[in-house]
């Protein structure tokens, strides 16, 4: 895997599978992205959908393997950095990267908000889950399930 996040591998996959090998259409690729976004977990899940559309369940398994394998590279990095974690320069680096990462999280919240916040209900849900997460020790799954229930109720009422 040559990419570093979510959909970054999309152009590479498209040029290989759609343009070069003709095993996938653009419409199928769009379906894969939609399915990956709709489901829980990483957006990178769309690779599983691509595999499934090309080769059925074995294809899905191949996509899944391709998706999870690079993750284990991090253990090598952790061992390497971990041994040097007490060094002041390394500490400064980790601190700076963490804060930049927090900035990235906040930046990622903007498109997500644009997509999710339509009308008062999603706004109330987002604010409530922010406050619950910050101020209480409630398990996150209840926040998510509560939101799902609120959405369902609002849909039928």
15-74 residues near another protein, rule: CB under 8 A: 28, 31-32, 34-46, 48-49, 52-53, 57, 60, 64, 67-74
Collapsing DSSP to helix, strand or coil, 157 comes out as coil
Of 20, 22, 86, 105, the residue at the interface with another protein (CB under 8 A) is: 105
Question: Closest distance between another protein and the C-beta of residue 153, in Å?
Answer: 9
- Tell which positions 111-150 bind another protein, by CB under 8 A: 112-113, 115-118, 121-123, 125-134, 137, 139-141, 143-148, 150
Tell the residue number behind the tokens 């498109």, with chain if given: 111
Question: Helix 120-135 vs helix 88-116: angle between axes, to the nearest 10 degrees?
Answer: 150
> Under 8 Å CB-to-CB from 48, ≥6 apart: which residues?
36, 60, 63, 64, 67
- 12 in contact with another protein (CB under 8 A): no
């Amino acid at each position: 895997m040559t990419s570093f996040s979510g959909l970054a591998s999309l152009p590479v996959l498209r040029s290989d599978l759609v343009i070069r090998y003709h095993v996938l259409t653009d419409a199928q690729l769009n379906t894969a992205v939609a399915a990956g976004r709709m489901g829980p977990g990483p957006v990178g899940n769309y690779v599983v959908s691509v595999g499934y559309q090309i080769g059925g369940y074995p294809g899905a398994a191949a996509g899944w393997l391709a998706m999870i394998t690079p993750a284990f590279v991090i253990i090598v990095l952790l061992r390497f950095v971990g041994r040097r974690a007490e060094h002041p320069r390394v500490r400064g680096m980790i601190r700076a990267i963490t804060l930049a990462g927090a900035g990235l999280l906040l930046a990622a919240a903007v498109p997500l908000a644009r997509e999710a916040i339509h009308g008062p209900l999603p706004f109330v849900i987002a604010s409530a889950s922010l406050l619950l997460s910050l101020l209480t020790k409630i398990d996150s799954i209840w926040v998510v399930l509560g939101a799902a229930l609120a959405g369902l109720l609002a849909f039928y009422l």
